[in-house]
Amino acid sequence: MILLSAYSAVLLSFASGLLALLMNQRLMLLAISQAAFKKFNSGGGRFQTWLTGQLGEQQFPVFLKQAVFALLGLSGLFAVIAGLAVLLSKGVITDQIPLGLPWLPWHIRFDGLSGFFYLIIGIAVCAVSLYGPGYVSSYQENQHPFAALGLFTGLFVAGMLLVLLADDAFMFMIAWEMMSVASYFLVAFQHENPANRRAAFLYLLMAEVGALAIILAYGVLASFADGFTFDALRESKLSVTWASIAFVLALLGFGMKAGVVPVHVWLPEAHPVAPSHISALMSGVMLKVALYGLIRFSFDLLSEVHWQWGVVLLVLGTVSALGGILYAMMQPNLKRLLAYSSVENIGIIFMVLGLSMIFMANGHPQLAALGFLAALFHAFNHALFKNLLFLGAGILHHQTHELNIDMMGGLIKKMPKTSFLFLIGCMSISSLPLFNGFVSEWLAFQTALQVDVLDNGVLRSLIPVSAAALALTAALAAACFVKVFGLIFLGQARSRNSEKAQEVQDKGMLAAPALLAGLCFLLGIFPGIAIHLINNVAGQLLGQTLPNDSALGWLWLAPVSAEQASYSPPLVLIGALIAGCVSFWYLRRNPATAIRSAATWDCGFGGVSPRMQYSSSAFTMPFRRIFAKVWIIDEQIKKDLQGALDQDVAAVHYQLHIQDHSWPLIYMPIAQGVNTVAKQVGRIQTGNIRTYLGYSFATLLLLLWVIS
């Protein structure tokens, strides 16, 4: 039953893709459906009229799009159901599908871990399918055919779901690559502008290399086991060295997909250029699938974890978290910013995962479970609020045709609903209390604070440092998203477009973020729900759950023990409400003191213009000064002088380019290296036939000499 709904989720997403493909043959389809409709038009009157309306020439494409997204949403729904069901039943379901290699059918395994990620994907997909119809309505069919978009969206979702179901290396890789390729086509969807092409190329290249690394990682396991099924791989007994090699390969592969520094560069290129609901899926969900892969590989397939791996994860995570948020802060392009912040969040998840590994390896399974829980919970939260923010960004782009936050402003008055939802997103991502982001970060800190139990000096000193880095990250994130929200929604409009912006009309486009925002708040207040679910996962995977995750009653959160730490969001909420209401009521009771509105104080100079406001680069200028080493900053100020002796300044031009260190350090050299080598190799092909004869002659002699 559970498996059935899991399958149907996959199949439905396939179906939606195929249906979208029919967009090309829509006239034929139209004819068919009308004919079919003719047959039984004995149906009820209103329905009939509606249907005829839908089957009209103009209406039909729209109807088809809605149908496609409806199927997608259905698949999301089934995914949620399946995920919840398997999580609550704590069961492990296995199955086989007669596909794949002759001696290796596709093995299916649906357990808690898969279920949990199924849940994440399902929620995201539901939101996207609500959001989609309104969003894609702005594409012209001849310029951006919906067929391609819909088809590859379906395949993309199906690929992600299949990855979670896979129980043998072969099927895993197929699903994994299907996910990559489909998303590649989605990144390249608006291929008329070069940025998309470049991003798509980079993305697919790194996906390919990553996938190869993963294959080799499986290869290492498989060469110590018989067969590629995960059961066989679990049995493989390998030495610490080989295990570490496998782990490093897997880390490379999955890290590339997850976007860990320094292999993150595709992420800020690819996510901004894809259509927004796709970037929401990629940034919010696909990275989680990579995370799933890493967890599956290191906690499940590798028989035992070593603390050194944990340290690697910890360090990588710390670097990614700090680097990600610092780079994010400097981006004027909203979606690039969000992409970089995904790097940051993935970094945090890796950190906590590393902690969990360390505790696991040092024989504290309970603490390991705590870290694991924090990691998964943060993954879940990140999926929620990052989806929310990307969808919000999509709305903004849809309404203002801008992504540069320096071109927005004052939208809170024009788009109140959107701004409110976006605010919730910003608050959760900058981990403020009462929202889900805070809870996972709180758990992360709780994990880090348990370092006392370790004996290893390195770890004892390393973990606090990373905890400090985590704290810094959180604070920087808050600063970053204050900038985002403040510049986009507050103040005065900075451009004509945002001047004219209107609240989005389509209900679905608001419903999707609303759903996510609601979940953010809900999980912020009652984290117990999610944590209970994840606890089952931990129980299955680590064989250890948190002891009394609800010792003080379900309102409370006491991961380790009630004495050590506890947090009760509902009480806090109540307190906040009391305090707020009391002060509000107390101060507003006097009618004489009604609010009077007046012009903004302009120091008596008159006319506060939008250009006087702080811009993105101005807001982050102190950070640029403080963390100058982190970026490659190219800042140019040019003055146009005029008047006698060029004394007075007519205009000042300010240019700021901020680049990622990893480009000149890693990627450029590789590219140049390949080109140079290719050039050198090219010289063997001179075009002169005698040289060629010489080659075969020499080869012949060489071989004869070798064998005799």
Distance of CA 334 to the CA centre of its chain: 15
Cis before 262 (ω within 30) = yes
Name 109's bridge partners: 94
Which amino acid, one-letter code, is at 9? A
Q: How big is the CA angle at 669 (ends 665 and 673), to the nearest 5 degrees?
A: 165
Smallest gap from Cβ 252 to other proteins, in A, equals 10
Sole residue written with tokens 């009394």: 548
- Give the nearer residue to other proteins in terms of CB position, either 36 or 205: 205
Residue 105 Cβ vs other proteins, minimum distance, rounded to whole Å = 9
Judged by beta carbon, residue 116 or residue 203, the one nearer other proteins is 203
Closer of 81 and 232 to other proteins (Cβ): 232
CB of 512 to other proteins, least distance (A): 23
In the complex with other proteins, the residue whose CB is nearer, 5 or 430, is 430
Measured distance CA(607)–CA(103) in Å, rounded:
78
Residues contacting 669, CB < 8 A, separation 6+: none
389: amino acid identity, one letter: L
Looking at beta carbons only, is 513 or 569 nearer to other proteins?
Answer: 569
One-letter amino acid of 6: A
- Three-state DSSP at 94 gives strand
Category of 606 on φ-ψ map: left (φ > 0), alpha (ψ -120 to 50) or beta: left
Question: Would you say 299 or 619 has its CB closer to other proteins?
Answer: 619
| Residue 113: CB minimum distance to other proteins, A | 23
Tell which residue, 600, 631, 603, has the closest CA to residue 617: 631
- State whether residue 55 is helix, strand or coil: coil
The residue (of 64 and 249) whose beta carbon lies closer to other proteins is: 249
Closest CB 675 distance from other proteins, rounded Å: 6
Which token pair is 675? Answer: 């080109």
Describe the crossing of helices 112-136 and 507-525 by its angle, rounded to 10 degrees: 150
Q: How far apart are the first and last CA of the chain?
A: 67
State which residue, 349 or 474, has the beta carbon closest to other proteins.
Answer: 474
Min dist. Cβ of residue 363 to other proteins (A)? 15
Q: Smallest distance, Å, CB 177 to other proteins?
A: 4
Element housing 99 (H / E): strand 93-101
CA neighbor of 415 nearest in space, from 331, 340, 513, 317: 513
**Nearest distance, CB of residue 667 and other proteins, angstroms:** 12
Between 298 and 616, CB nearer to other proteins:
616
Question: What distance in Å separates the CA atoms of residue 9 and residue 443, rounded to the nearest whole number?
Answer: 32
CB 657 to other proteins: min, Å? 21
